[in-house]
Amino acid sequence: MLKGRDGGVLLTRDGQFPLGTPLAPATMELLERFDTPEVLAAQLRRLNSFERSGDLVIFGAYDGARQVNFEDQVGGHGSVGGDQLHPFLLVKKEWGLDTTHVTNASDVYPQLVAVRDRR
Protein backbone atom coordinates (compact mmCIF):
# COMPACT_ATOMS: atom_id res chain seq x y z
CA MET A 1 0.00 0.00 0.00
CA LEU A 2 1.38 3.39 -0.94
CA LYS A 3 0.60 6.49 1.05
CA GLY A 4 -1.03 9.42 -0.73
CA ARG A 5 -3.13 12.49 -0.13
CA ASP A 6 -6.07 10.82 -1.85
CA GLY A 7 -6.06 7.93 0.62
CA GLY A 8 -3.36 5.88 -1.03
CA VAL A 9 -3.14 3.03 -3.47
CA LEU A 10 -3.15 -0.72 -2.96
CA LEU A 11 -0.57 -2.43 -5.13
CA THR A 12 -0.93 -6.12 -5.90
CA ARG A 13 0.33 -8.44 -8.58
CA ASP A 14 -2.99 -7.71 -10.33
CA GLY A 15 -2.45 -3.94 -10.51
CA GLN A 16 -3.11 -0.69 -8.65
CA PHE A 17 -6.30 -0.07 -6.68
CA PRO A 18 -6.99 3.50 -5.48
CA LEU A 19 -8.40 4.00 -1.98
CA GLY A 20 -10.04 7.36 -2.74
CA THR A 21 -13.75 7.96 -2.26
CA PRO A 22 -15.91 6.77 -3.78
CA LEU A 23 -14.15 3.45 -4.18
CA ALA A 24 -13.46 2.38 -7.74
CA PRO A 25 -15.34 -0.79 -8.76
CA ALA A 26 -12.08 -2.73 -9.08
CA THR A 27 -11.04 -1.69 -5.55
CA MET A 28 -14.46 -2.73 -4.22
CA GLU A 29 -14.07 -6.13 -5.87
CA LEU A 30 -10.56 -6.60 -4.46
CA LEU A 31 -11.54 -5.66 -0.90
CA GLU A 32 -14.71 -7.81 -0.94
CA ARG A 33 -12.43 -10.86 -0.83
CA PHE A 34 -11.39 -9.85 2.70
CA ASP A 35 -14.48 -8.24 4.25
CA THR A 36 -16.65 -5.13 3.99
CA PRO A 37 -14.91 -2.95 1.35
CA GLU A 38 -16.01 0.44 2.70
CA VAL A 39 -14.85 -0.38 6.25
CA LEU A 40 -11.53 -1.79 5.06
CA ALA A 41 -10.89 1.21 2.81
CA ALA A 42 -11.70 3.63 5.65
CA GLN A 43 -9.29 1.79 7.95
CA LEU A 44 -6.55 1.81 5.32
CA ARG A 45 -7.08 5.53 4.63
CA ARG A 46 -6.89 6.15 8.39
CA LEU A 47 -3.64 4.17 8.61
CA ASN A 48 -2.25 6.25 5.76
CA SER A 49 -3.26 9.47 7.53
CA PHE A 50 -0.94 8.90 10.49
CA GLU A 51 2.11 11.11 10.33
CA ARG A 52 4.38 8.26 11.36
CA SER A 53 2.91 5.49 9.23
CA GLY A 54 5.23 4.28 6.52
CA ASP A 55 5.20 5.64 3.00
CA LEU A 56 4.95 1.99 1.99
CA VAL A 57 2.95 -0.49 4.10
CA ILE A 58 3.36 -4.18 3.25
CA PHE A 59 0.82 -6.91 3.94
CA GLY A 60 1.61 -10.57 3.36
CA ALA A 61 -0.94 -13.19 2.36
CA TYR A 62 -1.75 -15.94 4.86
CA ASP A 63 -1.40 -19.34 3.17
CA GLY A 64 -3.50 -21.22 5.74
CA ALA A 65 -0.47 -22.57 7.58
CA ARG A 66 2.08 -19.78 7.94
CA GLN A 67 1.88 -16.03 8.20
CA VAL A 68 4.32 -13.40 7.07
CA ASN A 69 6.39 -11.76 9.83
CA PHE A 70 9.58 -9.75 9.74
CA GLU A 71 10.61 -11.40 12.99
CA ASP A 72 10.56 -15.03 14.11
CA GLN A 73 7.09 -15.05 15.67
CA VAL A 74 4.50 -17.75 16.18
CA GLY A 75 1.57 -15.37 15.67
CA GLY A 76 0.62 -11.83 14.99
CA HIS A 77 -2.20 -9.51 14.01
CA GLY A 78 -2.82 -6.32 12.13
CA SER A 79 -3.76 -7.32 8.64
CA VAL A 80 -6.79 -6.72 6.45
CA GLY A 81 -10.16 -8.34 7.00
CA GLY A 82 -11.22 -11.49 8.76
CA ASP A 83 -12.22 -11.94 12.39
CA GLN A 84 -9.78 -9.28 13.59
CA LEU A 85 -11.87 -6.69 11.74
CA HIS A 86 -14.75 -7.27 14.15
CA PRO A 87 -14.24 -5.94 17.68
CA PHE A 88 -15.24 -7.63 20.87
CA LEU A 89 -15.20 -6.45 24.44
CA LEU A 90 -15.23 -8.65 27.50
CA VAL A 91 -17.17 -6.42 29.88
CA LYS A 92 -20.10 -6.52 32.27
CA LYS A 93 -23.41 -6.86 30.42
CA GLU A 94 -24.98 -4.05 32.48
CA TRP A 95 -22.51 -1.57 31.00
CA GLY A 96 -24.61 -1.74 27.83
CA LEU A 97 -21.77 -1.37 25.33
CA ASP A 98 -22.70 -1.79 21.68
CA THR A 99 -20.01 -2.63 19.13
CA THR A 100 -22.32 -3.09 16.13
CA HIS A 101 -21.19 0.20 14.57
CA VAL A 102 -17.55 0.12 15.67
CA THR A 103 -15.18 0.22 12.69
CA ASN A 104 -11.91 1.05 14.47
CA ALA A 105 -10.50 1.08 17.99
CA SER A 106 -11.16 4.77 18.53
CA ASP A 107 -14.92 4.13 18.18
CA VAL A 108 -14.85 2.21 21.47
CA TYR A 109 -13.24 5.01 23.48
CA PRO A 110 -16.34 7.23 23.93
CA GLN A 111 -18.30 4.26 25.23
CA LEU A 112 -15.61 3.40 27.77
CA VAL A 113 -15.40 7.02 28.89
CA ALA A 114 -19.18 7.06 29.39
CA VAL A 115 -18.94 3.94 31.59
CA ARG A 116 -16.15 5.55 33.59
CA ASP A 117 -18.10 8.76 34.06
CA ARG A 118 -21.23 6.94 35.31
CA ARG A 119 -19.32 5.77 38.39
Q: Could you tell me the pLDDT band of residue 55, with boundaries at 50, 70 and 90?
A: confident
Same domain, 112 and 76: no
Same domain, 36 and 58: yes
Same domain, 76 and 92: no
Fill in the amino acid letter for 95: W
Q: Could you tell me the pLDDT band of residue 43, with boundaries at 50, 70 and 90?
A: confident
Mean pLDDT of the chain: 83
For residue 108, the enclosing domain spans 87-119
Distance CA 69, CA 62 (A): 10
Q: Could you tell me the pLDDT band of residue 75, with boundaries at 50, 70 and 90?
A: low
User: How many other C-beta atoms can be found within 10 angstroms of the C-beta atom of residue 26?
Assistant: 14
Q: Could you tell me the pLDDT band of residue 116, with boundaries at 50, 70 and 90?
A: very high
